[in-house]
Structure 1
Amino acid sequence: MPSLDRRRFLRDAAATTALVSAGGLAATSSAPAQAAPPAAAPAPTTRRRGAVSFRWWGTAGWRIDIADRTVLVDPYLSRIDTGLFTGPFNPATALTVRTDVIDARVERAATVLVTHTHWDHFMDVPHIAGRTGARVFGTLTAYHLGLAYGVPSTQLSAVRGGEVLDFGDHTVEVVSSLHSRNAAYSVAFPGVRVTQPARPATIGDLPEGDTLSYLLRVDAGPSVYFTGASDVAERNLTGLAPDVAMVAMQSATTTGDYLPRLLAGLDYPKVVVPVHWDNFETRLQNPPVVAPADRPRLDDMIAAVRRISPRSRVLVPEYETAYHF
């Protein structure tokens, strides 16, 4: 496939200059000045690589700042206690949006990308949409749940996979994906919403509703793949070849060859960032809390990525730290 070969050639050619930095936006020197073209043909502007930052908000949540535009992925900041990590888990836990926690971190957003509609991915999205006017992209279930919360239909865009959305200085490709299975080979809160339901009241009112992944390509910057759950339809990954992959940690062994299939399908990204490994019912403060049962799973994941894709760098993120790829 010529297009794939070309993309990988360009990607690998840049490998020696790729940089992952943490701890805030790094200063970037400008290119040497050049003679200005005639006034009738103004010089095109080129964004600096340092103008793009990625901040992890725990679980599968991210804030991406691209120049003066903010993109959010699965923003979940309320981090309410459902008993999931301390037991017993309560599916009737009331949906309690912590607006003070959210508003302190979300002053703007142009776009929200939702992988699926479980509470730890979608619960805070309607408030964020109302606060910022952001357009929300997600499944048909996300669309109907958004309506149930009172989000105007003009801010909701249903997608299913295959769409390439152009935002000028970046594009977002929607990828049809799968949700992870638990030890009983089942999915928590299965189901979809094909019509507008009553306003959700408990976490059980937010079903999985089908699952998506997203590939963000930034002009003069990185291509980054975002997952929200630990399963994959690898046939849908052909040709994506991202520089960076945000990969959800597998919580059960019922999905066969998850990491080998995912990493091969993504053409072995240069950087792999484990996500969805933290205890997301604790405060958003560093160091992230890892449940005792999840610590060995995270260690096993890191070791597996290094074994399967030895040329990949594994970056274990901290909360709200600015990373530049």
Structure 2
Amino acid sequence: MPENRPSGYDRRRLLRDTAVGAAAVTTAGLVAGTPARATTTVAPTGRPRPGAVSFRWWGTAGWRIDIGDRTVLVDPYLSRYDTGLFRNAFRPDTRLTVAGDVVDRFADRAENILVTHTHWDHFNDVPHIAARTGARVFGTLTAYHLGLAYGLPTGQLAPVKGGEVLDFDGYTVEVVGSLHSRNPSWSMAFPGVRVSRPPQPATIADLPEGDTLAYQIRVDGGPSVFFMGASDLDERRLTGLAPDVAMVASAATGSVADYVPRLMAALDHPKVVVPVHWDNFETALTNPPTVAATDRARLDALIAEVRRVSPRSRVLVPEYHTAYRF
């Protein structure tokens, strides 16, 4: 560790290693796909203790974070309809739809929604949830303009670029500039941005990537947790974050060089690593998650690589809707 790092960094890392080291995470059988679970901490009344925070995975890169009686969502995509993507029959003209009964049941409240990028499997349900709950939507300028296209008021839309550290009186959200993953042709589906308000989107192709962000939530008296929505990174922007827990997107292809080694080093080898974006997100949110064979292989490869380059990190493979507390 360089000697010129501030003492606050060392203290934060010590607190991180002590607090998160106490979280019991079972890692047996992960390569075979058995989900690991963190222990839960519940007050005698059965309600989370004051200040307790729980994390529930909603598939893809989606999360519900409950901080006491307050809720933050990350990339909430619950509608999960068929585009042909997992049948090698992808249809870019697939109509955008919202499964209102499912979305409303699980996303019953939210004060903030954090959007990593605006592809349909991250943004599709965001306008519906924001309109229903009054949640504030954080995202790129593209997310801002798409929100306007859906009729959300400007007061609910908060454009961010990366570098912001936002205080919500009990937790902070640090916005981190990031990159989207690449396909085998070193490109991506639906690249582009929206620099002004477009017509309301009708098909999945109307929701471009729109630049990509990551987020780190730091809860007062609790953990710091890093969230990715796509499997690429600019490690220079990650330096110093040192999260307790990292929600890490499974690599889509091998087009990003040294993805896991660079990511683990840039994040200072988190105590807990949680793979995301490995499930078939066009199937129902029922456990065990449905996994395509190629994605199963990528998940296994991610787990093996984390163990190789960051052997002190614990790997937790999540199940849908399960409350994890670190």
Equivalent runs, 1:32-111 vs 2, <5 Å: 48=50, 51-111=52-112
Query: The residue matched to 1:96 in structure 2 has which SS?
Result: coil
Q: Which residue of 1 aligns with 2:315?
A: 314
Asked if residue 263 in structure 1 is aligned to residue 264 in structure 2, the reply is yes
Q: Which residue of 2 aligns with 1:12?
A: 17
Q: d(CA) in 1 for partners of 2:15 and 2:271?
A: 13
TM-score (norm 1): 0.92
Amino acid of the structure 1 residue aligned with 2:238: L
Residues 256-291 of structure 1, C-alpha deviation per residue, up to 9 Å, x if partnerless? Answer: 011111110000000000000000000000000001
Query: The residue matched to 1:112 in structure 2 has which SS?
Result: strand
Offset of 1:204 from its aligned partner?
A: 0.1
Q: d(CA) in 2 for partners of 1:77 and 1:170?
A: 25
Query: The residue matched to 2:294 in structure 1 has which SS?
Result: coil
Q: Which residue of 2 aligns with 1:246?
A: 247
**Structure ID, larger Rg:** 1
8 Å CA contact retained: 1:170, 1:216: yes
8 Å CA contact retained: 2:17, 2:244: no
Query: The residue matched to 2:288 in structure 1 has which SS?
Result: coil
Q: d(CA) in 2 for partners of 1:285 and 1:295?
A: 17
Query: The residue matched to 1:97 in structure 2 has which SS?
Result: coil
Query: The residue matched to 1:286 in structure 2 has which SS?
Result: coil
Gaps of 5+ in 2: 26-35
Q: d(CA) in 2 for partners of 1:159 and 1:95?
A: 25
Amino acid of the structure 1 residue aligned with 2:172: T
Amino acid of the structure 2 residue aligned with 1:234: E
Gaps of 5+ in 1: 31-46
Equivalent runs, 1:271-310 vs 2, <5 Å: 271-310=272-311
Q: Which residue of 1 aligns with 2:42?
A: 27
8 Å CA contact retained: 2:37, 2:316: no
Q: d(CA) in 1 for partners of 2:20 and 2:55?
A: 19
Residues 156-205 of structure 1, C-alpha deviation per residue, up to 9 Å, x if partnerless? Answer: 00000000010000000000000000000002100000100000000000
Closer/same/farther in 2, CA of residues 279 and 16 from structure 1, 3 Å limit? closer
Q: d(CA) in 2 for partners of 1:14 and 1:113?
A: 25
Query: The residue matched to 2:214 in structure 1 has which SS?
Result: strand
Q: d(CA) in 2 for partners of 1:263 and 1:196?
A: 38
Residues 128-152 of structure 1, C-alpha deviation per residue, up to 9 Å, x if partnerless? Answer: 0001000000000000000000011
% identical aligned pairs:
70
Closer/same/farther in 2, CA of residues 122 and 15 from structure 1, 3 Å limit? closer
* Cα-Cα RMSD: 1.6
Q: d(CA) in 1 for partners of 2:23 and 2:168?
A: 24
Offset of 1:12 from its aligned partner?
A: 2.2
Q: Which residue of 2 aligns with 1:148?
A: 149
Q: Which residue of 2 aligns with 1:138?
A: 139
Closer/same/farther in 2, CA of residues 115 and 146 from structure 1, 3 Å limit? same
Closer/same/farther in 2, CA of residues 320 and 185 from structure 1, 3 Å limit? same
8 Å CA contact retained: 2:250, 2:298: yes
Amino acid of the structure 2 residue aligned with 1:111: N
Amino acid of the structure 2 residue aligned with 1:211: T
8 Å CA contact retained: 1:24, 1:322: no
Amino acid of the structure 2 residue aligned with 1:320: H
Residues 2-26 of structure 1, C-alpha deviation per residue, up to 9 Å, x if partnerless? Answer: 1322221222233542345948954
Query: The residue matched to 2:72 in structure 1 has which SS?
Result: strand
Closer/same/farther in 2, CA of residues 87 and 235 from structure 1, 3 Å limit? same
Residues 109-134 of structure 1, C-alpha deviation per residue, up to 9 Å, x if partnerless? Answer: 00000000000000100000001000
Equivalent runs, 1:132-211 vs 2, <5 Å: 132-211=133-212
TM-score (norm 2): 0.91
